[in-house]
Amino acid sequence: MAETTVGRGQEGRLSQFIGEEIRVAAPWEGVWPAKLANTILPPFIVLLRLTMGWIFAYSGFDKLIRGFDASGFLINATQGPLGGWFQSLGENSAALNVIEPLVVWGEILIGVALIFGVLTRWAAFWGAAMMFMFYLAQFPPAHNPFMEYYLVYILVLGVLGGLGAGRILGLDNMIERLPWVRRVPGATFLLG
């Protein structure tokens, strides 16, 4: 089987490829045995995506329902070299009026996007960015200096984004096939 890619501007040369099968490989193909890659890995990735989505969505809805005040965390729980900056944010009401809805709605939207597999890479990026900010606020970690759960979340979100987890039983798979999405440069990169 011949494998090839036709890029932009090469459509006129497409006639030489007629009769050849064009195949798109998943990121894990060729790395692991085919049986593992096709039977065990996809359900595991979906489970991981749904788990991370649930963690974010539950946390956001819990903050929305019970009320969320970021000043307590920012003033009392921050430490380290950036602790003073985070504490000043916790004392500034204008900053809190921006931070609190961003945290609540950010968690909800990231969670829903991961659960449904919509804009998965975009959601994974912003989820990792949020976890990195939480990690910086409490740096250095009090209990384990090498691995904090924020870093585990960042790692898992990076894996989900890198593998294009939204393409596996997610809406990104259907959205990427829309003609107008294919015409927008970089649109399919945000999906996945």
How confident is the model over 59-104, as pLDDT tens digits?
Answer: 999 999 999 888 888 888 878 888 888 888 889 889 899 999 999 9
Q: Is residue 82 part of a domain?
A: yes
- Count the domains in the chain: 1
How far CA 156 is from CA of 23, 113, 149, in Å, comes to 28, 15, 10
Cα separation values, 16 from 19, 24, 96, Å: 9, 19, 60
Assigned domain for 84 exists = yes
Contacts of 89 (CB under 8 A, 6+ apart): 74, 95, 96, 99
Q: What is the CA radius of gyration of the chain?
A: 21
pTM, rounded to two decimals: 0.77
> Residue 93 is part of which domain span?
33-190
Give me the residues of the chain with pLDDT under 70, please: 1-37, 145
In a domain? residue 18: no
Q: What is the pLDDT of residue 76?
A: 83
23 located within any domain? no
- Domain presence at residue 143: yes
145: in domain:
yes
Per-residue confidence (pLDDT) for residue 167, from 0 to 100: 87
Token pair listed for 148: 């904090």
132 within a domain of the structure (yes/no): yes
In a domain, 136, yes or no: yes
**What residues are paired with 158 via a beta bridge?**
none
